Structure 1
Amino acid sequence: MPLHYFVYPSMNRHRVTALAAAGLLVLAGCSNDNQSPVKARDYGQIGGESGTELATDQVLHKGNGAEPQTLDPHRAQGVPAGNILRDLYEPLVMEAPDGELIAGAAESWVLSDDGRVYTFTLRSDGRWSNGDPVTAGDWAYSLRRGLDPATLSVYSGILYPIKNAAAINRGELPPEELGVRAIDDLTLEITLENPTPFFLGLLNHSMAYPVHPPSVVEHGERFARPGKLISNGAYVLKDWVVQSHIELARNEQYRENTATRINQVFYYAIENADAVFARYRADELDFTTTIPIRQLEFIKTSLPGDYVQSPYLGVYYYGLNTTKAPFKGQPGLRKALSMAIDREIITDKLSGAGELPAYGWVPAVQGYEQQQPEWATWTRAERHAEARRLYKEAGYNDANPLVLEILYNTSQDHKRLAIAISSMWKQVLGVETQLLNQE
């Protein structure tokens, strides 16, 4: 059940953040004309403002939340891993700071008249961190690997628009049947099942990142560790101290290495928001998105030059196990629990970071009218009355209360939210709830 739509709060000590590669490129436009490939144009120098004096020691220290389980781009999950992977790998297509799709490892591409075949021309100066050229064959191998059921990719559905992707991921076809092929070393062809206007945006996801085939073959699951991981982005993996930090260093083979501003990046695995804030105030961190909600007003007032709030396309939700009792075959009970939650109290009183109440999975965005249930506009009293009716209809009452467990990951803010929701369920319906912390 969706609870609220995210915003992206962050603290940046310097506010002027030098990007890894200043010479970014942006698209001139879109085309499906085979004679008019989409080419990149100079995006200009992105980084320090005019006259900004850069620090002598170009090392960035970032609070990064939870410890990543892996840096294998096809198996990694979650935001902390994604933050690091974006520094290690360069996808075919990237996003500029303003959200515009820009050229990455591909310098141009064309789309067939029927909207189903993309032909990418790779950059001739693309290199792996060991000096090997990045070839179309590497990309074809990587896309097949991501969809191979043996890889156990959580986000394999990202690539389902590619021809035969879903069938391959289900084990019905071999990976070689995927709609990708290397025409030559610098030309990659991707065939889709159907025209997919948003396909280029999907290529910015880690599921579409390349891996170095010889390294995967030689090291197997261990290829994504320090000393073994070979990447094609602005940085290389230098060190990984579990439950402490991950260190990245400049990739000297990267095509834009001369424009890279920051020499080293340290990602610290700190989940406790109060601990992160303390280290930030002690000048031990330069940047973090892990902010203690209880300190938010103080931060806005006392550190206004550091605090930045940005839109974020994400939703905070609670998942119910609908494969087992009590939720299996009980849509009315699930609806009762959702209706008993006062989302406005959560966003206005509990979090207070500018989030919006969520009554559906997808927020209102350009070109999409938000869909939400009729009861979203009801009064609190009307919602609670209907929730109680559905709860009793499902067979529960004061004498026979529903007993639930709420599992939450390590964070005082997650705990506070779990306590608030369990309290709402108790007051409105009489539900008995146990809170269980999960790492």
Structure 2
Amino acid sequence: MKKSISIIITIFLGSLLVGCSKENQKNSTDYQVMKRAEATELLSVDISLATDTVSHTALYNTYEGLYRLGSSNEVIPAGATKLPQVSEDGRKYTIELNKKSKWSDDKPVTAKDYVFSWQRTIDPQTESQYAQLFSNIKNAKKIMTKELKPTELGIKAIDDYKLEIELESATPYFQNLLAFPNFFPQREDIVKKYGSEYATTSQKAVYNGAFTLTNYDASSGGATKWTYKKNQNYWDRSKVKLDKIENTVVKDAGTAFAMYESGKLDETYLLGEYVNQNKGEKEVITILKPSTYYLQFNMIDKDSFLSNKEVRQAMSSITNRKEIVENVLNNGSREAISFVPKGVYYNPDTGEDFSETYEPKMEYNVKNGVDTWNKVFNNQKMEIKLLIPDDDGIKKVAEYLQESGFTYQWNEILL
């Protein structure tokens, strides 16, 4: 088995160790198995409800949308045969579907599967946290506020293999959105068959991607083990070299590294001292995976001091992001200067990275932070509880924040 990454991961910039286990060395020309570690549980494989990076990794591997993104973020046809035909005003998209695309139960992927999926996600009853991504589609905002029905969303099936999408206004980045997992298709009959249990186990869903999901059960919470198995009904299966990918949650970076060293894993993540230990090793791969980690403040209680904008600005100013990425994570991550990470969006005319041109940028300035805090509290100290997931990297960041002035309470609640 060649030392390479064969799955799509979309999280922050990270370092991975990628090798070949003894099992694969023995069967390098036969059955191909990859064993890898994840730092956190797989919470959801429901296209309408998934929000975290591990869940999106699973969706990228087991489903396929109209398009995928190439190595330079270029849009590449996948479930579509070619790039969209766009009207002169930029508001109407006509897309021809790939007639070879099938579901794992051998049924064809049709335009109706996209229509149903998008309507389900935008439906307020679904309570999708990512419904706002559909905001530029005609009627989406009115559907989200219950002024219109989901069936009035600006997407329709012209026939089995042709989609028409209408936007509220021209949106230059819309094609890129179509490669995001929440825009992938869903089968109406399967969703209705399983109801509230849809996609809670691997058997209660069908897949149209390079792999199918097996050994997954999140009916009582997140799954700690799951497997991707080569989808024999995938239209482009001849290019899929792996037969199986076994995923195991290993929350401690040291334990994961030891498992890799002993041959129990073919891939693991690196954090902190393990990055320094392995610098220069040919098995270390650093991959840019754009996303942003951030503190989400509880502002439900309007009387809470966290509802004060200046308090949040003060906390932002005293957070040394550069020190966090260089000394705490030490895995190649970059400090955030805006909510949109580097390497995602570029000015189509100048080629400039959006994050470099956005103002105001987030900057580390202790004096400004302290002055702003004292302006509100007059030197008063306040206790802040930070709820974090059970993730080794995030726990290290939380510990750093505690030492630099924050207090936190560990809890298995993902913000």
TM-score grouping bracket, smaller chain normalisation = 0.7 to 0.9
| Partner in structure 1 of residue 204 of structure 2 | 228
| Partner in structure 1 of residue 173 of structure 2 | 198
Per the normalisation by structure 2, the TM-score is 0.84
| Partner in structure 2 of residue 38 of structure 1 | none
Is the contact made by 2:14 and 2:270 (CA closer than 8 Å) also made in structure 1?
no
Alpha-carbon distance change, 85 to 363 in structure 1, aligned in 2, over 3 angstroms: closer
Deviation string for 1:149-187 (max 9, x for gaps)?
A: 122211111222211112212222111101111111111
Per the normalisation by structure 1, the TM-score is 0.80
Alpha-carbon distance change, 315 to 139 in structure 1, aligned in 2, over 3 angstroms: closer
Equivalent runs, 1:9-28 vs 2, <5 Å: 9-13=15-19
- Superposed CA RMSD: 2.5
Deviation string for 1:318-371 (max 9, x for gaps)?
A: 222234344355222222222222333323332333333334323555433333
Deviation string for 1:111-145 (max 9, x for gaps)?
A: 11111111111122221111111111222111111
Q: Does 1:293 align with 2:272?
A: yes
Deviation string for 1:297-319 (max 9, x for gaps)?
A: 00224xx1111113232223222
Deviation string for 1:398-430 (max 9, x for gaps)?
A: xx41111122221333223222222222xxxxx
Distance (whole Å) between structure 2 residues aligned to residue 326 and residue 155 of structure 1: 26
Distance (whole Å) between structure 2 residues aligned to residue 105 and residue 112 of structure 1: 21
Distance (whole Å) between structure 1 residues aligned to residue 238 and residue 378 of structure 2: 66
% identity of equivalent residues:
26
Is the contact made by 1:144 and 1:178 (CA closer than 8 Å) also made in structure 2?
yes
Choose from 355, 368, 376 the match for 1:394. Answer: 376
| Partner in structure 2 of residue 371 of structure 1 | 358
Most deviating of 128-137 and 321-330: 321-330
Is the contact made by 1:9 and 1:353 (CA closer than 8 Å) also made in structure 2?
yes
Choose from 395, 412, 415 the match for 1:415. Answer: 395
Is the contact made by 2:306 and 2:312 (CA closer than 8 Å) also made in structure 1?
no
| Partner in structure 2 of residue 308 of structure 1 | 285
Give the residue type in structure 2 aligned to 1:106.
Answer: A
Deviation string for 1:75-127 (max 9, x for gaps)?
A: 11211111111111110011224432110111023111111111111122221
Equivalent runs, 1:46-195 vs 2, <5 Å: 54-108=28-82, 109-195=84-170
Structure number with bigger Rg: 1
| Partner in structure 1 of residue 264 of structure 2 | 284
Distance (whole Å) between structure 2 residues aligned to residue 204 and residue 198 of structure 1: 11
Alpha-carbon distance change, 125 to 387 in structure 1, aligned in 2, over 3 angstroms: closer
Most deviating of 312-321 and 152-161: 312-321
Q: Does 1:250 align with 2:230?
A: yes
Distance (whole Å) between structure 1 residues aligned to residue 71 and residue 371 of structure 2: 49
Unpaired segments ≥5 residues, structure 2 = 1-10, 22-26, 348-353
Is the contact made by 1:396 and 1:402 (CA closer than 8 Å) also made in structure 2?
no
| Partner in structure 2 of residue 32 of structure 1 | none
Paired residue total: 382
Query: Secondary structure of 1:76's match?
Result: coil
Q: Does 1:273 align with 2:247?
A: no
Moved over 6 A (4+): none
More strand by share: 1
Give the residue type in structure 2 aligned to 1:231.
Answer: Y
Distance (whole Å) between structure 2 residues aligned to residue 150 and residue 100 of structure 1: 34
Is the contact made by 1:110 and 1:118 (CA closer than 8 Å) also made in structure 2?
yes
Distance (whole Å) between structure 2 residues aligned to residue 407 and residue 327 of structure 1: 17
Query: Secondary structure of 2:289's match?
Result: strand
- The alpha-carbon deviation at position 438 of structure 1 amounts to 2.4
Choose from 385, 389, 409 the match for 1:405. Answer: 385
Alpha-carbon distance change, 138 to 298 in structure 1, aligned in 2, over 3 angstroms: same
| Partner in structure 2 of residue 27 of structure 1 | none
Distance (whole Å) between structure 1 residues aligned to residue 44 and residue 130 of structure 2: 14
Choose from 307, 310, 316 the match for 1:332. Answer: 310
Q: Does 1:347 align with 2:334?
A: no
Alpha-carbon distance change, 311 to 87 in structure 1, aligned in 2, over 3 angstroms: closer
